[in-house]
Structure 1
Amino acid sequence: MSELALKRVYEKPSPHDGYRVLVDRLWPRGLTKDAADIDEWNKDLAPSSELRKWFHHDPERWKEFSEKYLEELHKNNPGKEFLKQHEEQEKITLVYAAKDEEHCHPIILKSYLESLK
């Protein structure tokens, strides 16, 4: 099964990233597709637009956001199919644009995907 990693999309891509998947609903501001160097843009793994807008990267809402996002993931269950489609990948790096690396949805997503392995 694939190793999962997290990385901001604004950090320089590396061959060690493996298969790079953008897990945001919106394209990262000020970044070209070449600079992003992603293999896949998977919006289904990102929080819904409504939840993203409600959270608005407010650390005060982090706990509640985490619970609501996990509910969305379990309800829609995109993880099993995603992992099945990418089982041949040795490493998958979930890339994202958020500046706050402690309060961003890929942390929750990575934990969710690892729980499905």
Structure 2
Amino acid sequence: MNVQIKRIYHSTNREHNEKRILVDRVWPRGISKEDANLDEWLRDVAPSPELRKWFHHDPEKFELFKEEYKKELDNEEQKAHALQKLKDYAKQGNLVLLYGAKDEEHNHARVIKELLT
């Protein structure tokens, strides 16, 4: 099982035998659906708008954000279902989680990867 996270702006080319999933709630600006080269867009796995706005990619809030986001993934049926779908994809082969955030260290895709590996 190989799970990678990549910023969608840096990665629009598909590598051999990988499943590319966008895990953001909002479509990334400036990327066409064709250029994104996705297999699926799983909006439901993204953090709630309230949590995302509170976090605002502040590195000092990241640990608390991770805790709250994991609670959302555990307690909200749609999020739990989407996370299970990602787990199933990860078992099948190479999985690439795509996100749009500028901060490559403090983002929800990292949390998802942590839960999948």
Structure 1 vs Structure 2 CA RMSD? 1.8
Deviation at 1:16, TM superposition (A): 4.1
TM-score by length of 2: 0.85
C-alpha contact 2:21 2:39 (8 A) present in aligned 1: yes
Give 3-state SS (helix, strand or coil) of 2:6's partner: strand
Query: Structure 2 CA distance, aligned partners of 1:88 and 1:62?
Result: 28
Where does structure 1 differ by over 6 angstroms across 4 or more consecutive aligned residues?
none
* Matching residue of 1:5: 4
Deviation at 1:3, TM superposition (A): 2.0
| Residue-pair matches, total | 112
| Partner residue of 1:96 out of 95, 99, 109 | 99
User: Are 2:61 and 1:58 equivalent residues in the alignment?
Assistant: no
User: Are 2:82 and 1:45 equivalent residues in the alignment?
Assistant: no
Q: Which runs of 5+ in 1 are unaligned?
A: none
Identity fraction in percent: 45
Give CA deviations for 1:55-75 in whole Å, capped at 9, x if unaligned: 111112111111100111111
Deviation at 1:26, TM superposition (A): 0.4
Q: Which runs of 5+ in 2 are unaligned?
A: none
C-alpha contact 1:21 1:42 (8 A) present in aligned 2: yes
Deviation at 1:46, TM superposition (A): 0.8
